[in-house]
Amino acid sequence: MRRLFNVMRSLTATILLSLAIAYVALLVLGYEPMAMKTGSMRKTIPVGSLVVDRPVAPSTLRVGDVISFRKPIGEIGIDTHRIIKIMRSNGHVAYRTKGDSNPVADPWAIEYEKQMEAHRMVWHVPYLGYALLFAHSRLGAIVLISYVCFSLAVTLLKVIAESARPRSPVESS
């Protein structure tokens, strides 16, 4: 039972550390990971997917690109939708978007001011976004902090137990 506990603890620690390193690496490399919370793109991006965007110049956007943007009509949140039309008029460029699973286009057009960056999706991983949502939740933070504290306490107790154990003359050499 003890061996199983140690294996499970090591496996959990390895997975958590790998996810944390991957998340930090994405940020350092200029990518922007986020979780897909709604079903507006479920035909191509399932709910709970980890969506990874990269900042790009708006002039590089094309019809068919999937972009993430703040909702412009007083709604709170970020949408990740596909560009379905690019409209140019008097030096202004606006992008019409639509979720792949939505029956109609979004009621707005996205415009970028000078010096603003667009956020184009580079790739996504189905269901991995749930881990990001959990890690950013209050319960997730409590669980992660508790796990780290528990692991440190177990390790400390093991070190204390090992140092208190009498050593045979063979071990002392």
Q: What is the pLDDT of residues 131-169, one digit of tens each?
A: 889 988 999 889 888 888 888 898 898 888 888 877 766
Tell me the average pLDDT across 103-132. 93
* Residue 73 pLDDT exceeds 70: yes
Instruction: Check residues 72 and 118 and name the one with the higher pLDDT.
Output: 118
93-132: b (≥16 Cβ within 10 Å) or e: eebbbbbeebeeebebbbebeeeeebbbbeebeeebbebb
- pTM summary value: 0.77
Domain chopping of the chain, boundaries: 33-126
Q: Please check whether the domain covering 33-126 is classified as CATH 1.10.10.
A: no
